[in-house]
Amino acid sequence: MKTKYIVACSLMLMVCVLTKMFGYSSSTNHSKATTIDIKEARKMAQHAFYRDLSFANEQLPAGDKGIYKKMKKALKANSFSNLQTLKLHSRAIVWFPIIEPILKEYGIPEDFKYVPLIESGLARHQYSPKGAAGLWQFMPQTARDYGLKVNDKVDERLNVRLSTIAAAKYLRDLHKEFHSWTLTAAAYNVGEGRMKRRIAQQNQSNYFKLALNHETGKYVYSLISMKEVIEHPEDYGYKIENARKLLAYQN
């Protein structure tokens, strides 16, 4: 768990120790001293950690055990003990400096740079069985709708710069429709039409409260966990020599 959680946990454990020390020593009338359960302190620190997690400045709803459980599962799935690959980190070093300034230019939150990590593993020539291609896994028609050439001779979905520009435009349009970056990310995964139907059927516009298919239901959690693993690799078992290169691009 990252440093912020460790610090919070340490502080709460210190409170426990001090409470016990001074509680018992100052109790002159033999009344029962007030103590804090150590397990409870750890639980509080863990909850504080999860509340601090966010995607595009949209934080996890506080106090929901189901949401915390999903987030914990996503973080575990992307830890070194399960993923066991440094390829994502090395590819991030190469492609993030190209992706980040384009997203910024189009007003897209920087956290969306993690979408290609989930969609394609940042593999530029990645093709899916359904016909999606490139870092952003554009389907042919969607790619054409946003200005990319896709035919027998050329496939601009494989061009990182051009496909990122197209993705930024698409994400911008999705946000105009859904007015939420978490819903925008989910719609990018499942499609605009399906997302609109789910929202209408459930009369619910909070991504974390929506009942969605398995892939879309874990999509934002996967993005948040990938963000954590890339930005704090050492906390999840990765040993990165140049971790600073994985941080935000600076002009």
For residue 209, what are its two tokens? Answer: 């409260």
Alpha carbons 152 and 231: distance in angstroms, whole number: 39
Provide mean pLDDT across the span 37-54.
Answer: 62
Please, is 214 exposed, middle or buried when counting C-beta atoms within 10 Å of its C-beta (0-12, 13-18, 19+)? exposed
Strand, coil or helix: what is 58?
A: strand
From the list 18, 65, 67, 66, the residue with the least C-alpha distance to 38 is 18
For residue 113, what are its two tokens? Answer: 């740079």
User: What confidence score (pLDDT) does residue 236 get?
Assistant: 80
Alpha carbons 73 and 82: distance in angstroms, whole number: 11
Q: What is the pLDDT of residues 150-182, one digit of tens each?
A: 999 999 999 999 999 999 999 999 999 999 999
Q: 26: pLDDT confidence band, cut at 50, 70 and 90?
A: very low
Alpha carbons 171 and 136: distance in angstroms, whole number: 11
Alpha carbons 90 and 78: distance in angstroms, whole number: 15
Q: What is the pLDDT of residues 112-126, one digit of tens each?
A: 999 999 999 999 899
Specify whether the CB–CB gap between 107 and 73 falls below 8 A: no
Alpha carbons 212 and 191: distance in angstroms, whole number: 12
Strand, coil or helix: what is 14?
A: helix
From the list 25, 5, 27, the residue with the least C-alpha distance to 17 is 25
Provide mean pLDDT across the span 115-143.
Answer: 94
Half-sphere exposure of 119 (CA within 13 A, CB side): 27
| pLDDT top residue among 205 and 79 | 205
Provide mean pLDDT across the span 63-70.
Answer: 88
Phi, psi at 51, each rounded to 5°: -65, -25
